[in-house]
Amino acid sequence: MTIVPIIKRDYITNLAEQGKRMDGRIFDQYRKIEIQTKVVNKAEGSARVKIGNTQVLVGIKMGLGEPFPDTPNMGVLSTAAELVPLASPDFESGPPREDAIELARVVDRGVRESKVVDVEKLVITPGELVWLVFIDIHVLDYDGNLFDAASLGALAALSTTIVPAKRFEEQLPEGHKKEDFPLPMSEPPISCTAVKINDFVLFDACFDEEVIADARLTVATDHNGDIRAMQKGLSGSFTKEEIQKVIKGALDNGKEIRKTLKEATSS
């Protein structure tokens, strides 16, 4: 594991005491966000998201299969994340460990609980045949804040996904639409993550900030200003006031990021 020198740790907290960050941002400011969609030909949907130097590629693959027994009238959503060694000297090869699993599950909940993908429209024969949507998060360059980059990538990829009905036409029953169609989507939730360093709450932490952070909180909000998902991470704690601060920052930044997402996916 890369060891952060105490000097650097102290420098970051000293700057925070003056309301500053290493790269000149203020506490609730995001780095530059870039979103490109339709970047993988083989995928039914895809997006490459950069937040500062962090880069994540999300691909959507679709298939046909059985629904879950307790939800016979819904298509199946499934999310996985790979923290491949390409992205960081500290990532090791091997099956996903707890960081990758947490990332996948948090992104999954954000998509699932917000019902941004209309899974009821993905049913072919209730209880027997539904569309399966696979969301695969492939981290390419790790400089902090994978939660927001991955969530944004998933939404951008889903928003530009085309259901490949034509390719599966032989498996689709008579009378069912055999033409490709866009994945039915509604308004997306936007995930915003902040970390706590001493008593300071900083949004969109870069790698150095994340490594010394005591605690982390992700809040996903929708276009109505309601909360759809939350996840606290790391072993430090938040006070109620700090949680309120994060919620407010998530709502403010969420508005801006939602605009950026719309611009990127509307072409």
Q: How many chain residues touch other proteins (CB under 8 A)?
A: 45
CA distance 254 to 2: 32
CA 16 to chain centre: 27
Binding residue (CB under 8 A) for other proteins from 143, 148, 210, 222: 143
Is 236 a binding residue for other proteins by CB under 8 A? The answer is no
Distance CA 118, CA 188 (A): 11
Amino acid type, 9? R
Report which of 91, 72, 96 is spatially closest to residue 143, judged by C-alpha positions: 91
Residue 138: helix, strand or coil by DSSP?
A: strand
Please report, for residues 42, 80, 93, 102, 202, the alpha-carbon distance to residue 97 in angstroms, rounded to integers and kept in the order given.
Answer: 27, 11, 10, 9, 26
Contact positions with other proteins (CB under 8 A) in 98-137:
134, 136
Give the footprint of other proteins on residues 144-203 (CB under 8 A): none
Least separation in angstroms between residue 241's CB and other proteins is: 27
Backbone angles phi, psi at 171, to 5 degrees: -90, -10
Q: Which is nearer to other proteins, 147 or 238 (CB)?
A: 147
Q: Which stretch binds other proteins (CB under 8 A): 9-17, 174-182, 225-233, 241-249?
A: 9-17
Nearer to other proteins, 11 or 181 (CB): 11
Shorter beta-carbon distance to other proteins: residue 207 or 242? 207
Q: How far is the CB of 136 from other proteins (least distance, A)?
A: 4
C-beta of residue 222 within 8 angstroms of C-beta of residue 250: no
For 174-196, give the secondary structure using H, E and C: CCCCCCCEECCECCCCEEEEEEE
> Which residue is listed with tokens 């390719």?
167
**DSSP reduced 3-state for 229:** strand
Q: Which of 51, 107, 117, 142 binds other proteins (CB under 8 A)?
A: 142
Report the 10 Å Cβ neighbour count for 211: 18
- Which CB sits closer to other proteins, 211 or 247? 211
Single residue of 29, 71, 88, 260 touching other proteins by CB under 8 A: 88
Whether the CB-CB separation of 161 and 134 falls below 8 Å is answered with no
CB 243, min distance to other proteins, A = 29
Q: Which of 138, 196, 216, 228 binds other proteins (CB under 8 A)?
A: 138
* Binding to other proteins, residues 67-86 (CB under 8 A): 80, 82, 84-86
Residue 179, amino acid: E
Q: Does 24 bind other proteins (CB under 8 A)?
A: yes
* Residue 26 in the binding site for other proteins (CB under 8 A): no
Binding residues among 35-74 for other proteins as defined by CB under 8 A: 39-43, 46, 53, 55, 57, 59-61, 63
Binding site for other proteins (CB under 8 A): 3-11, 15, 18, 20, 24, 39-43, 46, 53, 55, 57, 59-61, 63, 80, 82, 84-89, 93, 95-96, 134, 136, 138, 140-143, 207
